[in-house]
Amino acid sequence: MVSPLAPVDFPDLPAIKGVRLSTTAAGVRYSGRTDVMLAVLDPGSVVAGTFTRSATRSASVLDAQAKIAGDGTEGAAILVNSGNANAFTGAAGVASVNAISAAVSQKLGLPATRVFTSSTGVIGEPLPHDRIITVLDELTVGLSSAALHDAARAIMTTDTFPKGSSATFEIAGESVTISGIAKGSGMVAPDMATMLVYIFTDAKITRPALQSILSQQTDRSFNCITVDSDTSTSDMVLLGATGQADMPVIEDATSDSARAFSDALGKVMLDLAHQVVRDGEGATKFVEVSVSGAKSDADARKVAMAIANSPLVKTAIAGEDPNWGRIVMAVGKSGAEADRDRLSIRFGPHLVAFQGQVAPSYAEQVGAEYMRQQELVIGVDLRLGIGAATVWTCDLTHRYIDINTDYRS
């Protein structure tokens, strides 16, 4: 069943010069299901990445982290499988990553240090990497610049729809394009979430500048979403730039050209992040939590995440119950500085609580009517300073339980 919050259609993602992709069914976990994606970047490409900070990171994440800072002009490859996370698999997991990297390296004529692998799915089961290696010939033959939609489907696990976004803009009068795909539905929280994200651009940019911009935009997008407060072992965002746009190279991450690129990239990443929340397991509501007036941005973030991650808040939203007392509770437990008699709470445009009590103008039926909407905004003003933060979440329904109790069956 497709999430009721899903976009109407998958977007028409422009092909990126210097990027080719292909997909196939390798039977990693399920038969007859497309579950492997290969992306190949032309020589001259640079790659940046951000990764989960979980203490139990998968072999693929650790391998990609070790490789990401390397320079290379030979091009790069990204191979992704769904159905098996290759996490908590010990030496066997490392051997699987090395075997896949070596096979892709030989097949494409790339150094193994330029091959990045990702795995998503069930934790703790050995990855049948031979099944992936067996289909490399098929993947190589099928490489095409027009396969982003297929790639978005191949990386799905409990996702109910494929996720994609793009932007086309100008730098120094020349056209530049960004296209990205993502997967993620449950086990989603900051420090990367249970996500795999692959973004490609034809921008001409140095690897240090690309990494700086990606890290900044990750903190503003993927690290500002939560479905269930759980951080995965396998998450990564990889951004490849082929340098084939006819534009001056971006070397300084603070230049005007870099800011134009960063703004466009940020829009793509935030769109993908929002789509992950909209596909939250069992979600029926998309919720923005906006906190202002905190002592610091860090305090505002603590409050916003406390609200967004509260099972009591999320179940009230699922039940369309305007129970603002649960928001008061979440503010109080957040660890941020707060004054009960100063803060205010809003549901969208409606002032609900003010200076330690229910607002005189508020009526319960107004809140109940607002809660029936699919897209909601919860606003909190602590009235203590200028710190602010915005995060995005979804409600918590019984469907979340159904999905996760059946996940391995």
Is residue 55 within 8 A of residue 216, CB to CB? The reply is no
Is residue 220 within 8 A of residue 266, CB to CB? The reply is yes
Closest CA to 307 of 319, 284, 324: 324
Cβ-based neighbours of 107, under 8 Å, separated by 6 or more: 136, 137, 140
Query: From residue 130, how far is each of 37, 62, 114, 134, 258 by CA, in Å?
Result: 15, 21, 20, 6, 42
Query: From residue 390, how far is each of 103, 200, 302, 315 by CA, in Å?
Result: 43, 26, 10, 20
Closest CA to 6 of 385, 284, 233: 284
The tokens for 55 are 């203490």
Q: In what order do the strands lie in the sheet with 350-354?
A: 357-358, 350-354, 344-347, 375-381, 286-294, 387-394
301-332 residues labelled b (16+ CB within 10 A) or e (exposed): bbbbbbbbbbeebbbbbbebebbbebbbbbbe
3-state secondary structure of 8: coil
- Please give the Cα distance from 221 to 192 (Å, whole number): 10
Query: From residue 139, how far is each of 38, 61, 238 by CA, in Å?
Result: 7, 22, 20
How far apart, in Å, do the first and last CA atoms of the chain sit?
Answer: 17
3-state secondary structure of 144: strand
Residue tagged active-site, from 50, 120, 194, 231: 194
Query: From residue 319, how far is each of 181, 241, 353 by CA, in Å?
Result: 32, 45, 20
Q: Is 194 a catalytic residue?
A: yes
Is residue 36 within 8 A of residue 24, CB to CB? The reply is yes
* Other residues' Cβ atoms within 10 Å of the Cβ of residue 255: 14
Cβ-based neighbours of 38, under 8 Å, separated by 6 or more: 21, 22, 23, 77, 78, 79, 80, 104, 136, 139, 140, 143
Q: How many residues does the chain have?
A: 409
| Catalytically annotated residues | 194
